[in-house]
Structure 1
């Protein structure tokens, strides 16, 4: 009886499980039917859905003009051989075969080919020989990547040298084809007419290859301002991630230095796009072209005729002075910061070459030209007041050579100290800032404070700090740190820390501008591109004058130094009076001479000049630096200054 009840219970449970299984199977059948019948077409369409691959191409960069609308940089059309791989086929052998075919059509430079490129080529081309470098044990125990790395290490210099010239050309082409890019890879720019014709004739056997119209920069006035414009090229490897984050791709052509880099976003424009539509079989069914837009035009503050004349004057003066081998000039509007001209020349192998970048990269001891900052620091720190006098006679401090002016001047005040360029007056200011009692030969207990104080006020004028010029980078000069009292005294006459010609310009401009330090700049306007040759389009952005800081001192102090600067060029004993005698534009400024080593145990001299005009209403400021001149009596700095100011006011 018990056995029958147990069997009955078992059969009941089996029946329930069987029913559940039937229900689940039925649900599955219904679901599969729905997927196949109801949604089958939808999934089939999805599986055959076309894929799209978008490739982009740079449009012409914006032009660069001077302030008067003269075209300085334009675009010259060239033809470029490109390669795209819309099917995403990464067959290395097929690429190598294509590169070999192209090598028979075009000539290709091999200068970019690296040692790693050569090794990869040898492994691909001579695979059997390459893997023979591994033992059976190594092939058994190493993964693919480890094997490859070991082969790379075992390729010898002799094997690398065995790559022929023809193979190197193939390798150079394949190298460009392999660049990781979602754009058309540039294989060669500047194709010859013959190369274009042959490529176009054989396009059917060159999958992914096209000849595209490209452009390269044309510098209308040759070397004039060429260094300032900078270069355009493919994205530098070290900056790849930064550019990628901004939406660039590795094959994009970008500004890589100076103005081209600084104004990349303005000049680059919107890229042309090609969309390839590809079906499931890999066939391209449609190609859509979306036109791009050329870059915006950049109007500079530079005055081209003035720029050309400044360069000419520098060359003439350097050729006349056998003891001078280089010179730098910067001219600007001191109230707006607009750079009107910037030039540098340096003698190399008995020929004068452009070295414009030296105006903001090269730093020198500027000598007495900085004494205006020393006097103003003295006023503001309270160690002197306008009209205070000192006896200009040699100063003797233990452990320091005798310090003196070029002549003993007797009792002089601050204005005479500037007019006649007294060193001793500045030495007394430095000693007082350092709390040094010269009469008792005691003090200077806190050198750090003294140096910090001097540099603080010098920095307010732009000396020893960035001028904030609109370039990717600039030098700030050499900071000599904290040294002896004698070095602080040297600092006060411009013979310790070093500055760039551009910093010197900002310093004198700040004085001319009643203590407002203005950002110097090259960009005047951004304009829409114009379709009319030689003319720029509508203005869309203007550079607004940017006051970086106002010098923290009473305006009467600055006016006192302005008066001293006026005496330098107009006073009875001014160090530049003889040079600027008769100038109708009423200039003011300061000369400078710094003694520097000639490298042979003797001395050369950095000759400098800063100035502005007219004195009552400044509209132009100048900085002239002529380093390492053999004779301090040369006067080349003053001669250059007089000539460039004469030209400016005669032609404004």
Structure 2
């Protein structure tokens, strides 16, 4: 009986304990339910919003640049489409993930050329080894060392400690993976980075295109390089654009970034590409990427359609441009071959042709001759960048300045014989001309006549041989003020990123004032000389020279020119202060230079049907090396326009460093070639 009682007691205690346990479980479960209720009721929306949170980011895809055409619709600069492999990483993409993609991509494209392999650095190799041997790499630093460094310092120190022997035995395939990853590492989140573009084969393009789903961030697309149907002709004026690796120039980073550019955008960095960057750049395609809280792209949408750049129609006639380049080369070659000893310093010739009434530049050319290689190179921009003493071609401005200042009158005569100022070298014309008036002084190119204008402008009216003269040095500035009205010594305003304004001599003695009057002191560019003669041809109106004729809107998927976006109208910069009768007097003098029997250019132009006018020029030029005189040479120049009574074309040319004693009239032959080519092309157009 006693045993039975004990068993009953135990049975009574067991349910009680279970009840307590169940009660505790109940309380915990209730607390959990309560907590879940609080989360669901009070914070549910916030947590759900966090789960559903997405971020919108934008990227911009470059479009083809606008093209350049000549005035007749001939393509000067176009776009050559080429295959391109790009990589656009998502936000938060890790280095190991990029490596995985690089290893897969290396199976489909080749990066084995010297261009890519030679760019791989020792650090690139060590980073590759680090990713493939993370545990071993991290063991190169002790825990104590790691605690004393930030992550960047620890990483760099780890790379330093990787034995070079570990990274010097990579296979070519591994090196290609490193080359791909090197390009991928340049990419910013959601911004396309070119991996390979200038030598992607059609097979590579096809292989990558078919496997984009296994290559996260990789795309096979089309890029564009500039093409030049006329090769080097006019190319330095057209300019160049930066490469993908260069992007926007560092010195202009702020300028471009504030105008919506990305750092890796290609921009015009010289010539007309730079001048008209805003028109040629186009409108980039803007894509919106939607990413979730994990950084995964869940959607994309084109929010701004891309549009290629606007097209530039230039004033240049490429047929005329080619002919002038040819004339420059032929005449330099002839001069050198005829008298190699006299012309060993003859290397360059420059010419500018424009419409004097509108300022449209029809051609601008320069050729450089390499005597050792017997080769020519195109140096057209030297017509804008390089300044030279033009000689007597400036005498039209000198005579007009003389009229305006009142120191001479129309018909004024001076006796042309050598001038001897005390204690200075004799100064004379190319020969003694005797009594000459203003027209004869231009026709026969009298230096002495211009000397008298300069002396009178300086206050000296009573010159006597072998006596000193007193000059008011303000005459330098007065004469330069007259010259500047024609564009000499000041900017022409041409639509180009840079132009030289020439150089003013800095020694104001009497002899230099006389030299200034005959174009042998201050120096000018060929473009300035072209604007000067155009101003005289255009009855005293100085117009701005320009390359841009029109900007045209592009037509999608069409090679034809679109509607006009902007036209470049004639801009008169100033009207010279001289009276119509004075301008007409100089125009008559210029006509005589080319047409009258005693004219210095009449042997080459008097029998031409286009009836030209203009002025010849010769300037002495000494060449020094290491402070020692090597040679005394001459610059030859020529300016002109035609027809003289209703000009439609004007030109200027300068040929520096032609040796003295040269019997090849290179300036006349080039000028003749320019006008002949222009009017022959005009006649062909009329016949068509």
After superposing the two structures, state which structure 1 stretch, 603-612 or 55-64, moved more. Answer: 55-64
Q: Does 1:186 align with 2:199?
A: no
- Corresponding residue for 1:622? 651
Structure 1 residues 44 and 341, CA, compared in 2 at 3 Å: closer, same or farther?
same
* Distance of aligned partners of 1:119 and 1:241 in 2 relative to their CA distance in 1, 3 Å threshold: farther
Match for residue 64 of structure 2? 60
Partners of 1:359 and 1:613 lie apart in 2 by 21
**Distance in structure 1 (CA, Å) of the matches to 2:499 and 2:118:** 32
Give how far 1:308 is off.
2.0
Which secondary structure does the structure 2 equivalent of 1:255 belong to? coil
Paired residues for 1:29-68 under 5 Å: 37=41, 40-41=44-45, 44-45=48-49, 48-68=52-72
Gaps of 5+ in 2: 1-36, 337-342, 683-688
- Is the 8 Å Cα contact of residues 123 and 130 (structure 1) preserved in structure 2? no
Q: Aligned-pair distance for 1:51?
A: 1.1
User: Who is 1:298 aligned against?
Assistant: 312
Select 1:336's aligned residue among 348, 353, 358: 358
Is contact 1:71-1:534 (8 Å) kept? no
Residue in structure 2 matching 1:107, options 97, 103, 111: 111
What is the DSSP-based 3-state SS (H/G/I as helix, E as strand, rest coil) of the residue aligned with 1:232?
Answer: coil
Kindly indicate whether the alpha-carbon contact (under 8 Å) linking 1:183 and 1:249 is maintained by their aligned counterparts in 2: no
Correspondent of 2:414 among 366, 381, 390: 390
* 1:177 corresponds to: 184
| Structure 1 residue 232, shift from structure 2 partner | 2.1
Q: Report the equivalent of 2:257.
A: 244
Structure-1-length-normalised TM-score: 0.85
Distance 1:423 1:163 in 2: 78
Residue 220 of structure 2 corresponds to which residue in structure 1? 211
Aligned to 2:635: 606
Q: Deviations over 1:110-164 (max 9, x none)?
A: 779999x947647745779999999999988887778899999x99xx99x9798
Q: Distance in 2 between matches of 1:72 and 1:273?
A: 29
The alignment yields a C-alpha RMSD, in angstroms, of 3.5
Question: Where does residue 311 of structure 1 map in the other structure?
Answer: 325
- The CA deviation string for residues 306-332 of structure 1, in whole angstroms up to 9 with x for no partner, is 222222222222222213433222111
Distance 1:311 1:136, change over 3 A: same
The Cα shift of 1:334 comes to: 0.4
Structure-2-length-normalised TM-score: 0.81
2:87–2:187 contact (8 Å) kept in structure 1? no
Count, aligned residues: 614
Q: Offset of 1:547 from its aligned partner?
A: 1.1
Distance in 2 between residues matched to 1:400 and 1:421, nearest whole Å: 22
Q: Quote how far apart the aligned CAs of 1:573 are.
A: 0.9
Displacement of 1:50 in angstroms is: 1.3
Aligned to 1:352: 376
SS at match of 2:425: strand
Distance in 1, Cα, partners of 2:423 & 2:117: 59
Deviation at 1:397, TM superposition (A): 2.4
* Aligned pairs for 1:111-510 within 5 A: 118=121, 121=124, 124=127, 173-179=180-186, 181=188, 183-190=191-198, 191-200=200-209, 202-233=211-242, 234-290=247-303, 291-322=305-336, 323=343, 324-348=346-370, 349-436=373-460, 438-439=463-464, 441-444=468-471, 446-447=472-473, 449-510=474-535
Report the secondary structure of 1:80's partner residue.
strand
Q: Which one is further off, 484-493 or 202-211?
A: 202-211
In our comparison, the structure showing a higher alpha carbon Rg is: 2
Tell me which moved more, 279-288 or 164-173.
164-173
CA gap 1:471/1:176 in 2 versus in 1, 3 angstroms: farther
Q: Structure 1 residues 428 and 294 mapped into 2: Cα distance closer, same or farther (>3 Å)? A: same
Segment drifting more, 603-612 vs 184-193: 184-193
Question: What SS does the aligned partner of 1:211 have?
Answer: strand
Is the 8 Å Cα contact of residues 83 and 177 (structure 1) preserved in structure 2?
yes
Is the Cα contact below 8 Å between 2:347 and 2:369 reproduced in 1? yes
Q: 2:667 aligns to what?
A: 637
Q: Tell me, in whole angstroms, the C-alpha distance in 2 between the residues paired with 1:551 and 1:163.
A: 76
- Structure 1: tracts of 5 or more residues without a match: 1-32
Do the aligned partners of residues 401 and 292 (structure 1) sit closer, same or farther apart at CA in structure 2, a change above 3 Å counting? same
